[in-house]
Amino acid sequence: MGGITIAIAATPLRKNKKHTKILISVMLWFGFVIHFTRLPFPPHGDSWPSSIQYITPISISAFCAIVFPFIFHWGNRTWRDFMFYFGILGGIIALVMPIAALDRPWYQFDAIRFFIQHGINGFAPLLMVICGHHRINWRWAWVSFFVLLFVLGIILVNEILLTAMGVVEQDMQQLLSAERRNGAMIMGPEPRGGLGSDLFNFFCPPWFQTALFDIPGAGVYRGDQFYWPIIWVVVPGIALIVPICIMMGIMADHKRFGRDIKYVFRRRSRKLCRIKH
């Protein structure tokens, strides 16, 4: 159904690819600019220089705001696939569960920016595919999850650098906490994530939630509950995120999916005929 909707919407839009490319580009660069112009406004304006952290890739959405304009213009197929799947997913999740904006008055610039930013992150990649600027191949949807793991690695390095340079508190407990600077769920599921966090916990193997050795500086000791950074999300991601990406890929690439299904059935029918004869 989703694929049919995209196909119908694509018909008039594909005829104006030059105009739609300009529109998508303007949206993405606008998102890029408002990401960096958040610093003078509350609650960041009063916390200089630690507020610098908020214009770095401290979360997946921040990473997307920074790199999406470059991916759209110069990215390869793999990165554009990542843009499609995780731009849309991140945008929907953030708009449905705006955890980062819950503690801020709705009229503040940063709260308004939050919703605009995630709206752009989600809508621009969708428009990119609808307008024919990128074609999704559903067979390769699973690859984007492993690109996500690479992105999480970049975010983790960023967190370590912010701590090492003293931009944020040089506190090992904060760095490794799942409740504090954990915008990308590198250190474990979001405590306020509700059902989503419960599902991630359910699929996460117990040994990826257990400290193997003491980390006295973080107040973690062998046997305590401690999510292995990034590694903890691999199994839940394969169980939950990859199927969602594949379903999104099928909706965007329904014609190829239909051909592939017909090919599989024809091949299976031929094998059955050979067995009977």
Q: Which of 57, 34, 33, 53 is nearest to 44 (CA)?
A: 53
- What are 82's two structure tokens? 């990542």
pLDDT bin (cut points 50, 70, 90) of residue 75 is very high
**Number of separate domains in the chain:** 1
Judged on CB neighbours under 10 Å (0-12, 13-18, 19+), 88 is buried
- Record the tokens describing residue 32, joined without a space: 């890029």
- Domain residues for the domain of 65 are 2-276
Mean pLDDT in residue range 207-230? 89
Q: How confident is the model at residue 1 (pLDDT cuts 50, 70, 90)?
A: very low
pLDDT tens-digit readout, 48-73: 777 888 899 999 999 999 999 999 99
Which uninterrupted H or E stretch holds 275?
A: helix 254-276
Distance of alpha carbon 53 from alpha carbon 40, whole angstroms: 13
What local confidence, expressed as pLDDT, does residue 173 receive?
81
- β-bridge mates for residue 210, sequence order: 225
In sequence order, the 6+-apart residues with CB closer than 8 A to the CB of 57 are: 63, 66, 154, 155, 158
Q: Mean pLDDT over residues 3-19, rounded?
A: 60
User: Are 175 and 182 spatial neighbours (Cβ–Cβ below 8 Å)?
Assistant: no
Straight-line distance from the first to the last Cα atom of the chain, in angstroms, rounded to the nearest whole number: 40
What is the distance between the alpha carbons of residues 268 and 265, in angstroms, rounded to a whole number?
A: 5
Percent of the chain residues topping a pLDDT of 70: 87
Mean pLDDT confidence for 216-239: 91
Q: Which residues pair with 215 in a beta bridge?
A: 220
